[in-house]
Amino acid sequence: MKILVPLKRVSDPDNANKIKVGAGKVETTGLEWKPNPFDEYAVETALRLTENGTNAKARLGEVTVVTFGPKETETTLRAALATGADKAIRVDTTDDAIDGDLLARALKALVEREKPDLVLLGKQQVDGDANQVAQLLAEYLGWPQATFAGQITSEADKALLVSREVDGGSIKLRVTLPAVVSVDLRIVNAVGVTSMHTPPTHKYSDGVRFAALMAIMAAKKKSLTEVKLTDLSPDTALKIKYTGFDLPPARKAGVKIKTVAELVQKLKTEAKVL
């Protein structure tokens, strides 16, 4: 199975430097970055689907990772290569030159070029939280889609049984490949992915795998190619325009109330909930 996994770096929520908002945009100077966690789950899912878990070194498929960003985002790709992905593509652009729709259109062109059987994505980015790319991509490709996957079972490489996380429970869908699937947190549970290659007795550790030292060295030699955004999508017009950014308002100090009567009064006149 050939799998394409789009990845993005996001600003690290544990950043020592607080995010600043400048003239109509988020200041990124001095920020530390990490891969979007849901994208890391997508990579882990792709690796589990293309290996025998008892001998993960022998790859039984091909996992290609792609990111959209400037040169320094290659670190995100190299990290994915170090956990086991086979090759990487960087589409040269910047965050403010793309939106979800352009990304989906460019990915469609990339899918036509790379011909994967499956596109696996994180359900959303933890910075923009748009949750659009998987759905748009499936629509543009005319492929079946299954979003918010919490469990995936591969069936003879031709179809996937996907358990989707929805309000109040889960829905099982069978998608015929090629397809687009986006993943949720539970997919990286020990039993999140059942691959036809891995014996059912094998138990994964919860979470994503660590990059082994030897794999980090091997990742230096893996293919990482650069593609121009306009080669994938000559039309680079954006559908989303950001008009401004504001930080959440600082919390105001609370007040201490002495009597019940005062509380009721304030609930009526200030909070206006009574």
Query: Looking at 112-120, 135-143, 168-176, 217-225, which segment touches other proteins (CB under 8 A)?
Result: 217-225
- Residue 254: phi, psi to the nearest 5? -80, 175
213 vs 250, beta carbon nearer other proteins: 213
| Residue 75 interacting with other proteins (CB under 8 A) | yes
The answer to whether 138 touches 145, Cβ cutoff 8 Å, is yes
- Total binding residues toward other proteins, as defined by CB under 8 A: 15
Smallest gap from Cβ 12 to other proteins, in A, equals 11
In the complex with other proteins, which residue's Cβ is closer, 9 or 108? Answer: 9
184 alpha-carbon distance from chain centroid: 9
CA distances from 247 to 12, 24, 147, 250 (A): 17, 12, 30, 8
Find the part of the chain contacting other proteins (CB under 8 A) among 77-85, 112-120, 147-155, 262-270.
Answer: 77-85
Q: Is 214 in the site for other proteins (CB under 8 A)?
A: yes
220 binds other proteins (CB under 8 A): yes
Distance, CA of 56 to CA of 151 (rounded, Å): 20
Whole-number Å distance between alpha carbons of 61 and 2: 6
Which of 5, 10, 49, 79 forms a contact with other proteins (CB under 8 A)? 79
Gap between the Cα atoms of 145 and 104, Å rounded: 14
SS3 state at 151: strand
95-103, 121-129, 207-215, 252-260 -> range binding other proteins (CB under 8 A)? 207-215
Mask of contacts with other proteins, 4-43, x by CB under 8 A?
A: ----------------------------------------
24 Cβ contact list (under 8 Å, min separation 6): 242, 243, 244, 245
Query: Binding residues for other proteins, per CB under 8 A?
Result: 75, 78-79, 82, 207, 210-217, 219-220
